[in-house]
Chain A
Amino acid sequence: MLFFSNIRDASVRDNLEEVVGVVYDVLINNDTDREFPPVMGIVIKDKRSTKQFIPVEYIESWGASEIELARKLYESTAKIPTGDNIVSLRDNVLDKQIVDLAGMRVVRVNDLQFSRVQQSMCLIAIDISNRGILRRLGMRSHFLNHIFKPNFLEWKNVKLMDNKLYLSTGAKEIVKLHPADIANLIEKMNVYQGSTLLQSLDPTVAARVLEEIQPDIKKLLVKNLGAERTATLMGKMSVDELVDLIQLLPGRESREIISKLPLDSKIQKVKKIMEYDEDTAGGLMTTEYITASSDMTVEQAIAEIKRVSHLHHSIQFIYIVDTDGKFLGVVSLRNLIVAAKTQSIKEIMRKPNKKLPTIHVDQTFEYLTRLMTKYNLLSVAVLDKDRKLIGVVTVDDIMRRLVPTA
């Protein structure tokens, strides 16, 4: 196994066995989609302490404390390559912090491991163990190796972010995770790392992630992001989450953010919900749901769902209202699927009755929870005093309220 700690400061000999310098740095090409980034070459300090770059092709052999060149030094050097994909292991990787995705921990790069992959020297793994530290200190003993277990991270699992001081899990890998998992990850980072990561995500994903973050950390993140960026993210959030977040913030800040939100119907809805007390059905409800008229056929209703589907996180029911917005009933997706295409909605919808209760906008959270538990409801329609449909409370809203830190 070849480590960076072995190569660094190793003497470099030319083809005549003469020492021509010592290794200073190793450059890798991080651009390829290959699993292991290839070494581009080494930077050495020659006898006059000038830095010289030697491309990997001119290196004859890699030893643990010695590197041999195929030719004379002056025949082996080239200009030090530069570019976004060229990473200096000494400056950009070694000793930097990494956020370890698997364990969600913050660790440091103690050493780096190289190996030959299909003829070319590549960077394989990052040593994050205490063995790495000991190796750097030049301590090697069987006794210590017994105490400290090896611990490696594969390079491919780690991404270099914005080529700055520290390594962190990159956005590309991370989006494969569930937003709630990314949220957990961010909760473990400090505010700066967290907001950097959040900003590197696609705004839609970032909005979902922000929704899942613990309230107190969310507050800090929003502060750190500033009103403008937060507003961009919030534009992508669902109305009820948006309301939760705004309620979390101190008055001045929330006004500032609201003023920066993109002007659309959403903001009207937010303002509307914010009029209701947090502890009532009105405060919990979302105003994002699909409505249809009772005269529609099943086919038309399905077409309508297809048309607006991308605007909604999840669709379980469609709500049937008359022309005045009065609530008539509800149709589940299941009902729609099993019904004949030509049937009218009126025939298949369930009308409000004792088994399909609705709830008044001012009802308390306790009442709502009990009602939904009693009748095993996934969601319940919220009506105002004129029995107009003004919102829907889903079981998610209840859960979020009960376990805010999950």
Chain B
Amino acid sequence: MSTAVTPTNGTKSRFWTKIMFFLSVIGPGIIAANADNDAGGISTYSAVGAHFGFKMLWVLLLVTISLAITQEMGVRIGLVTRQGLGGVIREHFGVRWTTFAMITMLVANMGTITAEFAGVASSFEIFGVSKYLSVPLAALVVWFVLYKGSFKTTQKIFLVFSAFYIVYIINGFIVKPDFSGALTSLVTPTVEWTTPFLLTMIALIGTTITPWGQFFIQSYVVDKGLKIKHYKAEKIEVIAGAFITDIVSFFIIISTAATLYKFGIKITDAKDAAIALQPLAGDFAQMLFSFGLFSASMLGAFILPVATAYALCEAFGWEYGFDTNWENGKAFYITILVSIIVPAILVLIPSMPLVKVMIFSQDINGILLPIILIFVMLIVNNKKIMGEFTNKPIGNIISWLTIIGIIGATVLLVISSVFGFN
């Protein structure tokens, strides 16, 4: 591997060359990070603020740093190996470990897709539209667009929609929160030793750093044909992406903290979460929230089944991609179908608590995340695979602390729910 090469041009155009170079690689980090604020994300962040005020902001700060670092590792592995995470795991850990990793990913992703459909259901229920209508319809649209239409265009459309998050930032200023208190909380660790707190905290971690996000970012840089010379630019993008997304998360939390937490309102359905937007949107708050939740859910519902199928097929050597026909790409299309249908059916179970589903699915993601991260760590530190691009000590320390932190929180959660010390 050669080291990164920067194009040398005339001094005048040098700046623009650099800008163009940067723009040409943009996408993976921003999209992956943005898609983090999906149905599970919005509801978890809302719940974090509504139920615990500023108390968990310090977790958000730490998790943002971890997100930047884990995503950067994904990018690096992708650039060096030119394969998705599923493929690299298969080549270096064999079939058994691959099966284990894939089952882990499948469970986590199914959970997240269930959250997306729950998000669709919630956003329509605000207007009194039954989930028995909205969810099957959304599932049909997702399948139809993926099978017949253009995945990339759709993805872009919903990405534009998700600019909706800016309203949270504006809202965050309108509610006139206690900014100094919020900033202090960012660096002041506070823990409640209760099951709800630990459960929400794991969901907060699990919705920000996700197993699917690790697979997605790596496949994305491979698919985009990026090379190691793009590494520096891509690194900047990933780090920027992580912080931009979490700035949104930060404002969701302080918005709900200033509106719901203050009055002790617990979030039980999407209408409650929408209250947070009232300072900005007044009577339109519910409509605005519903629209945002819907587009975020749909973005996730489009990306996740495909990301799942890509990883699975790459790992097991099945044909994949939308240019394969049904006969050759059977496994690919069936995976997509199953990961649309099963979650949709789960959401349709009568009296399924939608908000709880959205948050609980993020707990599953959080609990399973260490497994995927350990694979990533073993790969990224393997000289045989990464050559000179193995981790620096600082990356290792932060990543292992993240892994240990989540495992620790999970163990505490189990202990707390068994012995019930709330």
Tell me which residues from 13 to 64 in chain A have a Cβ below 8 Å from any Cβ of chain B: none
A223 contact set on B, CB distance < 8 A: 225
B225 A133 Cβ-Cβ under 8 A: no
Residues of B within 8 A of A322 (CB): none
Expressed in whole angstroms, the minimum distance between the Cβ of B226 and any Cβ of chain A is 10
- Chain A residues with CB under 8 Å of B241's CB are none
| Most chain A C-beta atoms within 10 Å of own C-beta, residue among B222, B317, B318, B328 | B317
A-B contact pairs, 6 of them (CB 8 A): A94-B94, A97-B83, A103-B328, A106-B319, A107-B318, A224-B225
**Residue A105 contacts which of B94, B95, B227, B319 (CB distance < 8 angstroms)?**
B319
- A-chain residues with CB within 8 Å of residue B223 when the two chains form the complex: 190
How near does chain A come to B224, taking the closest CB pair, in angstroms? 9
- CB-CB under 8 A from B222, the residues of chain A are 190
Which residues 117-152 in A have Cβ within 8 Å of B in the complex? 128, 130, 133, 136-137
Give chain A interface residues in 323-377, CB to chain B under 8 Å.
none
Smallest CB separation, A166 vs chain B (Å): 8
Q: Please, which residue of chain A has its CB at the minimum distance from the CB of B222?
A: A190
Using Cβ atoms and an 8 Å threshold, which residues of chain A touch B99? 137
Contact residues in B for A165 (Cβ distance below 8 Å): 81, 91
Interface centre among B81, B95, B222, by most chain A C-beta atoms within 10 angstroms, is: B95
Which partner residue on chain B sits nearest A166 by CB separation? Answer: B91
Q: In this assembly, does B82 line the interface, its C-beta being within 8 Å of a C-beta of chain A?
A: yes
Q: Are A95 and B96 in contact (CB under 8 A)?
A: no
Closest 7 CB pairs of A and B: A108-B317, A136-B95, A191-B225, A107-B317, A192-B82, A95-B91, A95-B90
- Complex: chain A residue closest to B91, CB-CB: A95
Q: A107-B317, A108-B317 are in contact. Are A97 and B225 (CB under 8 A)?
A: no
A110 to chain B, nearest CB (A): 7
**B96/A136 in contact, CB under 8 A:** yes
**Does B316 touch A at the CB level, under 8 Å?**
yes
A133 pairs with B316, CB closer than 8 A = yes
A294–B328 Cα gap in the complex (Å)?
59
Is B300 positioned at the interface, with any CB of A under 8 Å from its CB?
no
Q: Which residues of B from 81 to 111 have beta carbons under 8 Å from A? A: 81-83, 87, 90-91, 94-96, 99
Q: How far is the CA of A130 from the CA of B95 in the complex (A)?
A: 11
CA distance A96 to B92 in the complex (A): 9
In the bound complex, how far is the Cα of B318 from the Cα of A137, in angstroms? 17
- Give per-residue flags for B221-255: 1 if the beta carbon is below 8 A from chain A beta carbons, else 0: 01101010000000000000000000000000000
Contacts of A133 in B (CB 8 A): 95, 316
Nearest chain A residue, comparing its CB with the CB of B93: A95
Other A-B contacts than A106-B319, A137-B99, A224-B227, 14 sampled, CB-CB below 8 A, are A94-B94, A95-B90, A95-B94, A95-B95, A105-B319, A106-B317, A107-B317, A108-B316, A128-B317, A136-B94, A136-B96, A165-B91, A190-B222, A190-B225
Q: Does any Cβ of B come within 8 Å of A303's Cβ?
A: no
Q: Is A220 close to B, CB under 8 A?
A: yes
For B82, the chain A residues whose CB sits under 8 A away are: 190, 192
**Residue in B95, B225, B227, B319 whose beta carbon sits within 8 Å of that of A110 in the complex:** B95
Per-residue interface assignment for chain B, residues 67 to 90, with 1 indicating a CB less than 8 Å from any chain A CB and 0 otherwise: 000000000000001110001001
Select one of A96, A128, A137, A191 contacting B95, CB under 8 A. A137
Number of B interface residues, CB 8 Å? 19
Contact bitstring A175-196, B, C-beta under 8 A = 1, else 0? 0000000000000001110000
A297 to chain B, nearest CB (A): 56
Chain B contacts with A in 185-244, Cβ cutoff 8 A: 222-223, 225, 227
Q: Please give me the residue from chain A that is nearest to B324 by CB atom.
A: A105
Nearest-neighbour CB distance to chain A for B231, whole angstroms, equals 15
In the complex, what's the smallest C-beta–C-beta distance from A357 to chain B, in angstroms? Answer: 42
Complex Cα–Cα for A224 and B228 (A): 12
In the bound complex, residues from chain B placing their C-beta under 8 Å from that of A96 are 91
Query: Whose C-beta in chain A lies nearest to the C-beta of B319?
Result: A105
Please give the residue numbers on chain A whose beta carbons come within 8 Å of chain B beta carbons, in ascending order: 94-97, 103, 105-110, 128, 130, 133, 136-137, 165-166, 190-192, 220, 223-224
Partner of B317, one of A110, A192, A224: A110
Chain A: CB-nearest residue to B317: A108
In whole angstroms, what is the CA distance A130 to B319 when docked? 12
CB distance from B103 to the nearest CB of A (A): 12
> Contacts A95-B94, A133-B95, A137-B99: A105 and B328 contacting too (C-beta < 8 A)?
yes
**Cβ contact of A108, chosen from B90, B96, B225, cutoff 8 A:** B90
A94: min CB distance to chain B, Å: 8
Q: Mark B316-329, 1 if CB is under 8 A from A, else 0.
A: 11110000000010
B22 to chain A, nearest CB (A): 17
Q: Closest approach, in angstroms, between the C-beta of A70 and any C-beta of chain B?
A: 30
Closest chain B residue, CB of each to CB of A98: B317
Docked complex Cα distance between A133 and B316 (Å): 8
A165 to B95, CA, bound (A): 16
A97 adjacent to B87 (CB under 8 Å)? yes
Which of A109, A165, A192 has most B Cβ within 10 Å? Answer: A165
A131 to B22, CA, bound (A): 45
CA–CA, A164 and B95, complex, Å: 20
Chain B contacts for A224, CB-based, 8 A: 225, 227
Report chain A residues within 8 Å CB of B328. Answer: 103, 105
A109 to B99, CA, bound (A): 15
- Given the complex of chains A and B, what is the CA–CA distance between A224 and B83 in angstroms? 16
* Cβ–Cβ < 8 Å partners of A137 in chain B: 95-96, 99
Chain B residues with Cβ below 8 Å from A130 are 316
Q: Which residue of A lies closest to B225 (CB)?
A: A191
Query: Which residues B301-352 have CB closer than 8 A to chain A?
Result: 316-319, 328
Q: How far is the CB of A163 from chain B (nearest CB, A)?
A: 14
Q: Please name all residues of chain B whose beta carbon is closer than 8 Å to the beta carbon of A166 when the two chains form the complex.
A: 91
Residues of B within 8 A of A192 (CB): 82, 225
CA A105 to CA B323, docked complex, whole Å: 12
Q: Kindly report which residue of chain B lies nearest to residue A135, judged by CB atoms.
A: B95
- Closest CB in chain B relative to A136 CB, distance in Å: 4
Cα–Cα, bound, A192→B91 (Å): 18
CB distance from B398 to the nearest CB of A (A): 28
Within 8 A of A (CB), among B248-273: none
In the bound complex, CA of A223 to CA of B328 (Å): 30
Q: Which residue of A lies closest to B94 (CB)?
A: A95
Query: A220 CA to B222 CA in the complex, in Å?
Result: 13
Q: How far is the CA of A220 from the CA of B225 in the complex (A)?
A: 9
Residues of B within 8 A of A190 (CB): 82, 222-223, 225
- Cβ-closest chain B residue relative to A91: B384
Residues facing A in B15-34 (CB within 8 A) are: none
Q: Which of A103, A105, A108 has the most CB of B within 10 A?
A: A108
- B95 contacts across to A, CB distance below 8 A: 95, 110, 133, 136-137
| CB proximity of A284 to chain B, nearest CB, Å | 30
- In the complex, what residue of chain B is closest to A96 when comparing beta carbons? B91
Bound Cα distance A107, B94 (Å): 15
- Closest-CB distance, B387 to chain A (whole angstroms): 12
Kindly list chain A residues whose C-beta atoms are within 8 Å of the C-beta of B227. 224
**Looking at A95, A97, A110, A191, which has the most chain B CB atoms within 10 Å of its CB?**
A95
A133, B318: Cα distance in complex, Å: 11
Within the assembled complex, what's the spacing in Å between the Cα atoms of A110 and B222? 23
Give Cα A351 to B328, complex, Å: 55
Cα–Cα distance between A130 and B315 once the two chains are bound (Å): 12
The complex places the Cα of A296 from the Cα of B119 at a distance, in Å, of 84
How many angstroms from the CA of A43 to the CA of B33 in the assembled complex?
45
A133 and B223 CA atoms in complex are apart in Å by: 26
Q: Name the distance in Å between B89's Cβ and chain A's nearest Cβ.
A: 10
Task: Give CA–CA (A296, B154) in the complex, Å.
Answer: 66
> Once the chains are docked, how many angstroms separate the CA of A382 from the CA of B308?
56
